[in-house]
Amino acid sequence: MYPNIQAYDRGVMFNPDGKLFQVEYAKEATKKGGTVIGMITKSGIVLIAHKNIDEPLSVLSSMQKVFRIDAHIGAAYSGIVADGLHVVNQIRQAAQSHRMVYGEVKSLEAIAKELSSYMLQATFYGGVRPYGVSLLIGGIDTDRRLYEVGPDATILGYKANAIGFGKKIATDMLIKEYKDGMSTDESLQLGIKIINKVIEGKLKSDHVDVGYIEEGKEFTILNDQEIAKYF
Amino acid sequence: MYPNIQAYDRGVMFNPDGKLFQVEYAKEATKKGGTVIGMITKSGIVLIAHKNIDEPLSVLSSMQKVFRIDAHIGAAYSGIVADGLHVVNQIRQAAQSHRMVYGEVKSLEAIAKELSSYMLQATFYGGVRPYGVSLLIGGIDTDRRLYEVGPDATILGYKANAIGFGKKIATDMLIKEYKDGMSTDESLQLGIKIINKVIEGKLKSDHVDVGYIEEGKEFTILNDQEIAKYF
Amino acid sequence: MYPNIQAYDRGVMFNPDGKLFQVEYAKEATKKGGTVIGMITKSGIVLIAHKNIDEPLSVLSSMQKVFRIDAHIGAAYSGIVADGLHVVNQIRQAAQSHRMVYGEVKSLEAIAKELSSYMLQATFYGGVRPYGVSLLIGGIDTDRRLYEVGPDATILGYKANAIGFGKKIATDMLIKEYKDGMSTDESLQLGIKIINKVIEGKLKSDHVDVGYIEEGKEFTILNDQEIAKYF
Amino acid sequence: MYPNIQAYDRGVMFNPDGKLFQVEYAKEATKKGGTVIGMITKSGIVLIAHKNIDEPLSVLSSMQKVFRIDAHIGAAYSGIVADGLHVVNQIRQAAQSHRMVYGEVKSLEAIAKELSSYMLQATFYGGVRPYGVSLLIGGIDTDRRLYEVGPDATILGYKANAIGFGKKIATDMLIKEYKDGMSTDESLQLGIKIINKVIEGKLKSDHVDVGYIEEGKEFTILNDQEIAKYF
Amino acid sequence: MYPNIQAYDRGVMFNPDGKLFQVEYAKEATKKGGTVIGMITKSGIVLIAHKNIDEPLSVLSSMQKVFRIDAHIGAAYSGIVADGLHVVNQIRQAAQSHRMVYGEVKSLEAIAKELSSYMLQATFYGGVRPYGVSLLIGGIDTDRRLYEVGPDATILGYKANAIGFGKKIATDMLIKEYKDGMSTDESLQLGIKIINKVIEGKLKSDHVDVGYIEEGKEFTILNDQEIAKYF
Amino acid sequence: MYPNIQAYDRGVMFNPDGKLFQVEYAKEATKKGGTVIGMITKSGIVLIAHKNIDEPLSVLSSMQKVFRIDAHIGAAYSGIVADGLHVVNQIRQAAQSHRMVYGEVKSLEAIAKELSSYMLQATFYGGVRPYGVSLLIGGIDTDRRLYEVGPDATILGYKANAIGFGKKIATDMLIKEYKDGMSTDESLQLGIKIINKVIEGKLKSDHVDVGYIEEGKEFTILNDQEIAKYF
Amino acid sequence: MYPNIQAYDRGVMFNPDGKLFQVEYAKEATKKGGTVIGMITKSGIVLIAHKNIDEPLSVLSSMQKVFRIDAHIGAAYSGIVADGLHVVNQIRQAAQSHRMVYGEVKSLEAIAKELSSYMLQATFYGGVRPYGVSLLIGGIDTDRRLYEVGPDATILGYKANAIGFGKKIATDMLIKEYKDGMSTDESLQLGIKIINKVIEGKLKSDHVDVGYIEEGKEFTILNDQEIAKYF
């Protein structure tokens, strides 16, 4: 369709359709990552992430997909592993330095905007590539909130959302089965059911990372035993 | 027509016709954004922006399209989301720092020129890409004013104007139906009617952002209930 | 004729004919701008600029094409709008800082040379593009003077000159009808007649910017009513 | 499948599939290196590295493949020799400076993350290439740990793992024969058996580097006589 | 003859023949400029420059081709106008600063070498293009001297020389008709005769710039009346 | 085999096989250099280098191929002459500054690692090319040692080794004829015999550089008379 | 033979044969320069350089090809004129600053190495091109010496040597006719005879630059009358 595709691939430049090719390609990278699901629950949010690793001798606990960012915020990523660890580190530092400077927690929206601004730079200046990760950031400030930020640095809030390999299947199931006001337990059961569907019933409890927050509690990462209860 | 299109795509260079290809492509990006309409009213201006999101589980209030820049200025963008948030942030800071340094509000024209100058850099120096957004900036200083600034950094004032996906349909309708001296209510009704036309009658009130200013009042963003009244 | 045109398009490099392609292309950009006419009159100079905008709802007064640079100097540009505003700003600052440092007005030739030098940089160093504008700079210092400076940074003085879309038609008419010692009024009438010819008789008074200077007066921009008198 | 592969090869850019080509190519470099095997044992970890050199007059002891990073940590690499020495040096310095600043040993996970972060830069910024090495880092902090970090900067923990030329054969054998709770001796015998299998029975004791750690002891590199015992 | 010409055009690189293509192309630019002639006379030197402008309304006096560099030195250029003004400015400043620092005039050879060194940089480092001008620099220090410096930064002295559009015709005539020991008047008559030949007898006195120096006098630019005497 | 080889040639990038093309090409440069042979002897090391120059009027003593780096270290290079002189200078300075700072000689391994690290940079960062030289570095610290460092910055120790044009023939002969515990004289005779074989019996004593070290002596460069004794 | 030559031409990169193309091309540039001959004489050295200029009106004395670098050193170049003047200037400054800092003259070898190091940079870092000149540097320090340094920065000493256009013919004649212990006069006669042969008997005395040094004398440039004696 275009005489020579290579022109739009060097640096992050527009193609004739007004798309940033490198950003579009980076989005493909996020679609190869393990499925991550986030939901706003009755009193908080949950994050469920699939560890799409198929190596019998690997130590699954060494691969963290859900992170506590601050007492009131959690995050999970899908896409290039090292990119994910890097941007998670960025927002952790942003949350902590806000806490130290202002003596108060940073709002979810502010964290999401800071991440968006950070990821935007990688789509704007020469000599870098976009980040190949999408993140779900969730937590409670004045209310329960769940945001997605992707390679194009767009921020959008959701009641429930999925990223990664199973995004399409998972989103369809969320649209059908997610309901406002579900409890944490109901949400986690739904999330694990969905990921199990994505990988055709082969999900094991140690291949899942789970984090949640409820009003009055801090963001908590479940251990294997706690996760197993939802299987 | 040209032997090899790629030559004009690297960096922001002229093509043989004297066009800046990357800027032309960035304009395409703005045509993919939600339709935004601005009008000068009898006593101020209105901005109506469509949130072109088709995800059932998204939280539409998380995507802001109309912004208060200062007490007397509002703005709305169409195009790449993160680019829009970035340049809105730029002009907010410009307005605030002017207020602090000079103890007076910055004129609409000065804000538009500052934005133009900022966006021009991205069409001039190597190692960056143009911004993929158009903005409508409106408000009241010595008079009511409404400006458009796009990827090419051109500034032009309008009595009424539209940007984004529905620009053509919306402009045609504005030419027919917009009248000098319309009230804020009449303008908002017209704006919502136009966006509804653009998307063929499917507009819902939560998919619209609305802001307005009238003489003697500050620029105000309507909430969902207030917007619903115009449907 | 050349095996591969792309080689001369990256950065501002010579082609085998000794031409700077990007500069040639930038000249094309200036030919797309509204026609601008300048004339030396009996006692000063006039600048008449067409606002080639065809949008019914635009506010034409928001698009300035003729600028007062200093009390004794005016300028008008044709080409890329944001480039024009940028270089006009440059020469305004140059004139003002000269006035402040030396306590005297800067000569027309010095202003033109400063602009030429500024625009030359954009044809010389990598990582930038040439400016896509031509300017007519006119005024009175020890005598009446009118200069053109274009994308190639060449300076040339004229008794009467035209740039922009109608350059060819306008220049032909100037050669036939311009006379030394015309009054300001005669010159403005000729200028508006020429622009009207360029756009085939459709010129309206609000689509024209006019500035003039006469000995003993400062450079003055006419308002709409004053311009209408010449129609 | 792609019109022109070269577009994705300049700098570390995404291809349309969301892969970073240069990183994929760097992984190929690691597959040409000598096979390296790591195992968590009952009371520590072992690292066995094949020196794939076929030059009769070379002094094999001059090529070190297993390194003591700190008293509690060892590492081995496969891939480009000079890259390996360089990153080993980096993590050694990181471990030492942590010890000096904090007066305590750095955790295995922290070392692996520091290495990942260092190698990520080489996949992100222009003007560099990815590192063409994979590393196994193992040791004891609060528990026995074994990590792999490769050109893509991914970190993953393993109970037993292989990198380099014989990765596939070695991994298959480890899956079959590695057992939790093997002693250091059993692990070393298994490791040498595997490498011998990879090179079809031609392994000599001076072509192997061996390091191990057991609880209560420091990370130790075996000498030739000690290695010979496992043949 | 060469598989792909583009390789030698990016930046100032050698082609397989040992030529610097961009420099060769820049020389083409100098061949498009007005013819410039310089001669050593009995007691000084003369410079005659054609203003190759064919615009009836231009003010020819605004385009200077012959410049006084210092009391004892003049220069004239052919090629890209803005490049010419730029390098003339460079050598003027060099002459003045020498005068100020050392309290003596700078030798012609030193000025020529400084210019050569300045123009050499533009053929050596990336990110710039060669200057598209040749200059004749002439004057009196310990003797009468006339140098040419071109885009390749070569310096060569001449008794009489021509650059620009009519270089070939002019050089042939100089070889035939120039004689050692001609007076200033004879030289100027010859120079104007030659330029008139180049443009086939159509030369007018206002299309010529003339400068000369004689022993005991400063370098002087003739005015129109003085030039007309040689027609 | 690859659609377009050029992609892997710009800067030092990986090809799909995981090879660094520029480094592979630089290795070719080292194969064009004169043959250099190094051997560990009973009590030290010897270095013999062929000066592959075929110009009757050249002064062979002006081309040094074997260098004293420090009292206990010598080196010889094969490949691009100026690259060789440059890196020899680097390691000389490294040895001297170590001696000055620490008051002790630098170990052979440390010198080789410093050289490797220096040459690695040239394979890693953009804007440079790999060094087109291989070096043999030999001497005595706690034992006799002989290292090779090439364009890929790999370090490997040898008992005897050859680089340059005759590498293959020379290595084969070394494998057959080199023995542990040869005296300096025996080693030099062998080395000269091998180089003579490489160039088919035409070797003259002034086309050879020879250096050696024995325990208790400093590294010594032989003069022509001394070399002639081994012919 | 190579799929696409352009890959090896950008910047100074290796080709698959291990050659630096830009350096090879720069060598071509030196072969277009006037022939330069240097010889070691009984008591010093001589340098004879042809000025290959064919312009009747040029002042040949303005083009210097043989230079006094210091009292004991002379040099001559062949190739790109401005490059030659530039590097001659470099070594002059190096000689002078050595004299000033150390109070002694710099050795010929040190001057040649400094030049080599300077020219090497231009073959190593991006954003520059190699120098298109070869130099003969000769003089007396502890003995008579004559070096050639070319675009590849190689240093080689000679008893007699030729560079430039007539290198092949001149070298053949030198091999036949040059003898150790020739007097300065005999050497100069031979040199001029050779250059005359190169240009087929058309050599005139003003087209030659000659410099020589004898023990106890400083390096001296001959004037036209002195040169004419050797014709």
Tell me the angle at which helices B108-121 and C81-102 cross, rounded to the nearest 10 degrees.
110
Contacts of A128 in chain D (CB under 8 A): 124-126
The residue of chain A with its CA nearest to that of D39 is A57
Measured CA distances, A186 to A43, A45, B123, D151 (Å): 12, 12, 51, 40
**Single-letter residue type at B167:** K
Instruction: State the nearest Cα–Cα gap between G24 and chain F, in angstroms.
Output: 13
* pLDDT tens digits along C14-65: 888 888 888 999 999 999 999 999 999 999 999 999 999 999 999 999 999 9
Question: What mean pLDDT is predicted for residues F77-98?
Answer: 96
Residue C21 is predicted with a pLDDT of 83
* pLDDT tens digits along A88-127: 999 999 999 999 999 999 999 999 999 999 999 999 877 7
pLDDT exceeds 70 at position F37: yes
Measured distance CA(G171)–CA(G31) in Å, rounded: 13
Question: What mean pLDDT is predicted for residues C224-228?
Answer: 94
Mean confidence (pLDDT) of chain A: 92
* pLDDT tens digits along E39-75: 999 999 999 999 999 999 999 999 999 999 999 999 9
* Residue E111 near residue E137 (C-beta atoms within 8 A): yes
CA-nearest of B200, B194, B198 to B230 is B194
* pLDDT tens digits along C166-205: 999 999 999 999 999 999 999 999 999 999 999 998 899 9
Residues of B with CB under 8 A from a CB of A: 4-6, 9-10, 22, 24-32, 53, 55-59, 61-63, 80-83, 85-86, 126-130, 132
* pLDDT tens digits along A69-86: 999 999 999 999 999 999
| Interchain pair F58, G157: CB under 8 A | yes
pLDDT exceeds 50 at position F8: no
The dihedral through the CA atoms of B147, B150, B156, B158 has a sign that is: negative
Q: pLDDT averaged over consecutive 10-residue blocks of chain E (231 residues)?
A: 36 80 93 97 98 95 96 97 97 94 93 96 84 98 97 97 98 98 98 97 94 97 94 88
Contacts of B13 in chain C (CB under 8 A): 9-10, 22, 25, 129
Mean confidence (pLDDT) of chain D: 92
Which of B2, B89, B125, B129 has the most A C-beta neighbours within 10 Å, making it the best mutation to test the interface with A? B129
The dihedral through the CA atoms of A67, A70, A75, A81 has a sign that is: negative
In this structure, of A212-221, D181-190, F174-183, G10-19, the range with the lowest mean pLDDT score is: G10-19
Contacts of F119 in chain D (CB under 8 A): 82
Question: What mean pLDDT is predicted for residues D57-76?
Answer: 97
Instruction: State the nearest Cα–Cα gap between E227 and chain C, in angstroms.
Output: 20
Q: What percent of chain D has pLDDT over 90?
A: 86
In this structure, of A188-192, C101-105, C130-134, the range with the lowest mean pLDDT score is: C101-105
Contacts of C218-222 with CB under 8 Å at 24 or more apart are: C218/C68, C218/C71, C218/C72, C219/C68, C219/C69, C219/C70, C219/C71, C219/C72, C219/C73, C219/C74, C219/C139, C220/C68, C221/C66, C221/C67, C221/C68, C221/C74
pLDDT exceeds 50 at position F128: yes
Contacts of A7 in chain B (CB under 8 A): 5-6, 9-10
CA-nearest of E83, E36, E74 to E222 is E74
In this structure, of C40-49, D16-25, G51-60, the range with the lowest mean pLDDT score is: D16-25
| Interchain pair E120, G56: CB under 8 A | no
Measured distance CA(A71)–CA(A54) in Å, rounded: 32
Q: What percent of chain A has pLDDT over 90?
A: 85
Residue G11 is predicted with a pLDDT of 58
**What pTM was computed for the model?**
0.91
At residue F7 the predicted structure's pLDDT band, cuts being 50, 70 and 90, is very low
pLDDT exceeds 50 at position B186: yes
What does A92-158 look like in DSSP terms, one character per residue?
HHHHHHHHHHHSSPPPHHHHHHHHHHHHHHTTTBTTB----EEEEEEEESSSEEEEEE-TT--EEEE
Residue D11 is predicted with a pLDDT of 58
Contacts of A80 in chain D (CB under 8 A): 20, 152, 154
* Residue G95 near residue G105 (C-beta atoms within 8 A): yes
| Interchain pair F20, D82: CB under 8 A | no
Helices vs. strands in chain A: H and E counts, helices first: 6, 11
Q: How many CB atoms lie within 10 A of CB D65?
A: 27
* pLDDT tens digits along G102-140: 999 999 999 999 999 999 999 987 778 899 999 999 999
Q: Where are the alpha helices (DSSP H) in C122-201?
A: 167-177, 184-198
Describe chain G by its helix, strand, coil percentages, rounded to 5.
40, 25, 35
pLDDT exceeds 70 at position A8: no
Residue A11 is predicted with a pLDDT of 58
| Interchain pair B59, A159: CB under 8 A | yes
pLDDT exceeds 70 at position F123: yes
Residue E13 is predicted with a pLDDT of 78
Measured CA distances, E14 to E5, G22, G35 (Å): 12, 6, 21
In this structure, of A16-20, E69-73, E210-214, G223-227, the range with the lowest mean pLDDT score is: A16-20
Contacts of G62 in chain E (CB under 8 A): 109, 145, 147, 155-158
Contacts of E56 in chain C (CB under 8 A): 175
Residue C11 is predicted with a pLDDT of 58
Q: Using CB atoms, which residue from B13, B155, B158 is nearest to C22?
A: B13
Residue A84 is predicted with a pLDDT of 97
* pLDDT tens digits along B12-64: 678 888 888 889 999 999 999 999 999 999 999 999 999 999 999 999 999 99
In what side-by-side order are the strands of the sheet with D155-158?
A58-59, D155-158, D144-149, D133-140, D73-79, D66-70
Question: What mean pLDDT is predicted for residues B212-217?
Answer: 97
Instruction: State the nearest Cα–Cα gap between A151 and chain D, in angstroms.
Output: 11
